[in-house]
Amino acid sequence: MNDGIKVEDLTEDQARKELARLATEIKLADAAYYVEDDPHLTDADYDALRKRNLAIEAAFPHLKRSDSPSDSVGSVVKDGYGKIEHGVPMLSLDNAFSDEDVEDFADRVRRFLGLSETEPVIITAEPKIDGLSLSLTYENGVLQKAATRGDGRVGEDVTANAQTLEDVPDRLAGTGWPKKIEIRGEVYINSADFAALNAAEEAAGRKTYMNPRNAAAGGLRQKDPAITAQRPLRFFAYAWGGLSGPFAETQSEAVQALANWGFETNDLFKAHPDVAGLLTAYRDMIERRAGLGYDIDGVVYKVDRLDWQARLGFVSRAPRWAIAHKFPAEKAITTLEAIDIQVGRTGSLTPVARLTPITVGGVVVSNATLHNEEEIERLDVRVGDQVEIQRAGDVIPQVLRVVDPDRAGRSAPFEMPHVCPECGSEAVREIDDKGKEDVRRRCTGGLICPAQVVERLKHFVSRKALDIDGLGAKQIELFYERGLVQAPQHIFQLEQRIADAGLEPLATWEGFGEVSASKLLGAIDDKRNAPFGRFLNGLGIRHVGQTTSDLFSRTFVKWDEFWRTVEAARDTPDGPEEQALTSIDGIGGAAVGALKTFASEPQNQDMMTDLMQEMTILDGEAPASESPVSGKTVVFTGTLEAMTRDEAKARATSLGAKVSGSVSGRTDILVAGPGAGSKLKKAQDLGVTVMTEAEWIDLISGL
Kindly list the catalytic residues. Answer: 128
| Cβ 192 to ligand IVH shortest distance, Å | 20
Q: Tell me whether residue 150 or residue 488 sits nearer to ligand IVH (CB atom).
A: 150
Q: Around Cβ 361, how many Cβ atoms within 10 Å? A: 18
Alpha helix segments (H runs only) across 31-173:
43-59, 99-113, 159-162
Q: Tell me whether residue 395 or residue 671 sits nearer to ligand IVH (CB atom).
A: 395
| Cβ 91 to ligand IVH shortest distance, Å | 4
Beta strands in 419-471 (DSSP E): 427-428, 441-443
| Cβ 241 to ligand IVH shortest distance, Å | 9
Question: Please, which residues bridge with residue 331 across strands?
Answer: 390
| Cβ 29 to ligand IVH shortest distance, Å | 14
Q: Tell me whether residue 60 or residue 238 sits nearer to ligand IVH (CB atom).
A: 238
Contacts of 57 (CB under 8 A, 6+ apart): 19, 63, 64, 68, 70
C-alpha–C-alpha distance, residues 218 and 326, integer Å: 24
Phi–psi pair at 234, nearest 5 degrees: -120, 165
Q: Tell me whether residue 256 or residue 630 sits nearer to ligand IVH (CB atom).
A: 256
Is 307 within 8 Å of 115 (Cβ atoms)?
Answer: no
Number of residues assigned to the chain = 703
Q: Tell me whether residue 93 or residue 690 sits nearer to ligand IVH (CB atom).
A: 93
Q: Tell me whether residue 215 or residue 521 sits nearer to ligand IVH (CB atom).
A: 215
| Cβ 155 to ligand IVH shortest distance, Å | 11
Q: Tell me whether residue 131 or residue 169 sits nearer to ligand IVH (CB atom).
A: 131
Return the exposure string of 439-452: e unless at least 16 CB atoms fall within 10 Å of the residue's CB, then b. ebbbbbbbbbbebb
Q: Tell me whether residue 282 or residue 535 sits nearer to ligand IVH (CB atom).
A: 282
Is 224 within 8 Å of 149 (Cβ atoms)?
Answer: no
CA dihedral 205→209→215→219, nearest 10 degrees, is -30
C-alpha–C-alpha distance, residues 290 and 121, integer Å: 31
| Cβ 137 to ligand IVH shortest distance, Å | 16
Is 553 within 8 Å of 536 (Cβ atoms)?
Answer: yes
Phi-psi region of 540 (alpha: psi -120 to 50; beta: other; left: phi over 0): left
| Cβ 614 to ligand IVH shortest distance, Å | 55
Integer-rounded Cα Rg, in Å, for the chain is: 29
Instruction: Give Cα separations from 129 to 103, 148, 186 (angstroms).
Output: 22, 15, 7
Phi–psi pair at 196, nearest 5 degrees: -65, -40
Is 285 within 8 Å of 268 (Cβ atoms)?
Answer: yes
| Cβ 378 to ligand IVH shortest distance, Å | 31
| Cβ 274 to ligand IVH shortest distance, Å | 20
Q: What are the DSSP calls for 639-656, one per residue? A: --SSS-HHHHHHHHHHTT
- Edge-first strand listing for the sheet containing 270-272: 95-96, 322-326, 296-303, 123-129, 270-272
Per DSSP, 127 falls in state: E
Chain residues in the site for ligand IVH (CB under 6 A):
91-93, 126, 128-129, 133, 186, 238-239, 300, 319, 322, 324
| Cβ 92 to ligand IVH shortest distance, Å | 5
Alpha helix segments (H runs only) across 429-558:
450-461, 473-481, 488-492, 494-500, 513-526, 532-538, 546-556
Phi–psi pair at 134, nearest 5 degrees: -140, 140
Residue closest to ligand IVH, measured at CB? 133
C-alpha–C-alpha distance, residues 660 and 669, integer Å: 10
C-alpha–C-alpha distance, residues 23 and 678, integer Å: 13
C-alpha–C-alpha distance, residues 425 and 449, integer Å: 8
C-alpha–C-alpha distance, residues 162 and 179, integer Å: 21
Alpha helix segments (H runs only) across 545-632:
546-556, 559-571, 576-582, 589-600, 602-614
| Cβ 132 to ligand IVH shortest distance, Å | 6
Residue 84, exposed/middle/buried by CB under 10 A (0-12, 13-18, 19+)? Answer: buried
